[in-house]
Chains A and B, each alone.
Chain A
Amino acid sequence: METERILITEEPLDAASVTALVKSNANGGVVTFEGTTRDETGGRTVVRLEYEAYPEMAEKTFLQIFDEVQERWGITDMAVAHRIGRLELGEASLIVAVAAPHRAEAFAIAMYVVDRIKEIVPIWKKEFFEDGSVWVGAAHTQIP
């Protein structure tokens, strides 16, 4: 089932186990993307992060992205894992694994999936600084 290839969890992510979900002998290329929390944004030092999901809809939108890939590339060997809750610096927040017969499409699909996750999957990130915090994407509303 496709839903077995979607994981939203408060536990640390393991890229190898996500990659294992998509490997097969029919595929010549596997691309695994690992997004990690970084220590700086816009010149401010980040000390930790929190992610919050709308879990039911997040799963639906991950499935929608899988469907888009299948329609465009005819590829179904994909898996995603997203961490939520509190993360320390350097920890993985997102793993995307894609397998395809050839490397070019595996790279292209992985890029597409990560971009689409940012656009439509309802998961929010809060960055904590030494002197405050901000919901990413919400800062431009310029409210005190």
Chain B
Amino acid sequence: MAPFGGAGYNRHMASSDGVTVTLRLFAIYRERVGQECIEVTLQSGSTVADALTSLGELHPSTLPLMPTTMVAVNQEYTERDYVLEPNDEIALIPPVSGGWAEPTSSS
């Protein structure tokens, strides 16, 4: 799966009305962007991948994070070719925490 892009044909098919979605940003994304969420308006028919492309254009410091990021829409893990509906909540999920199951030399 390409990290982002791949839905360019939508740009030709899109009608004049767009789709506005919220991007929730956590952990390293929140720190890089400096906000907990941002709203973006995309052309109708846009996908999660298009929303990530848009975020990358607005905040290029997020681009290197995207290959290892999982995406959820409305709190469900979702593929990047998901076609967005108005008011969808996209969450960018960098690798989640761990560490407590690993052997430790200090305890």
Q: Are A125 and B106 in contact (CB under 8 A)?
A: no
Number of B interface residues at 8 Å Cβ cutoff, please give it: 27
Counting contact residues on chain A (CB < 8 A from B), the size range is 20 to 34
Q: Is A131 an interface residue (CB 8 A)?
A: no
Q: Are A137 and B101 in contact (CB under 8 A)?
A: no
Contact residues in A for B28 (Cβ distance below 8 Å): 124, 135, 138
Q: Are B27 and A52 in contact (CB under 8 A)?
A: yes
Q: Is the interface of A mostly helix, strand, loop or mixed?
A: mixed
Q: Is B107 an interface residue (CB 8 A)?
A: yes
The answer to whether A35 and B96 touch (CB under 8 A), given A54-B91, A57-B75, A143-B64, is no
Chain A nearest Cβ from B75, distance in angstroms? 4
Contact residues in B for A141 (Cβ distance below 8 Å): 64-65, 67-68
Q: Is A103 an interface residue (CB 8 A)?
A: no
Closest to B77 in A: A120
Q: Are A124 and B27 in contact (CB under 8 A)?
A: yes
Q: Are A57 and B91 in contact (CB under 8 A)?
A: yes
Q: Is B45 an interface residue (CB 8 A)?
A: no
Closest to B61 in A: A143
Within 8 A of A (CB), among B84-106: 91, 93-101, 104-106
Within 8 A of B (CB), among A71-103: 93-94
Instruction: Give bound CA distance, A121 to B105, whole Å.
Output: 26
Residue from A114, A125, A141 having most chain B Cβ neighbours under 10 A? A141
Give me the interface of B with A, judged by CB distance under 8 Å. Answer: 24, 26-28, 30, 64-65, 67-68, 72, 75-77, 91, 93-101, 104-107
Task: List 9 A–B pairs whose Cβ atoms lie within 8 Å, in order of A's numbering.
Answer: A38-B99, A40-B106, A52-B27, A54-B26, A54-B91, A122-B72, A124-B96, A138-B95, A140-B95
- Other A-B pairs beyond A125-B98, A135-B27, A141-B64, 4, CB < 8 Å: A35-B101, A51-B97, A114-B100, A143-B64
4 smallest CB-CB distances across A and B, nearest first, come from A137-B95, A35-B100, A125-B97, A124-B27
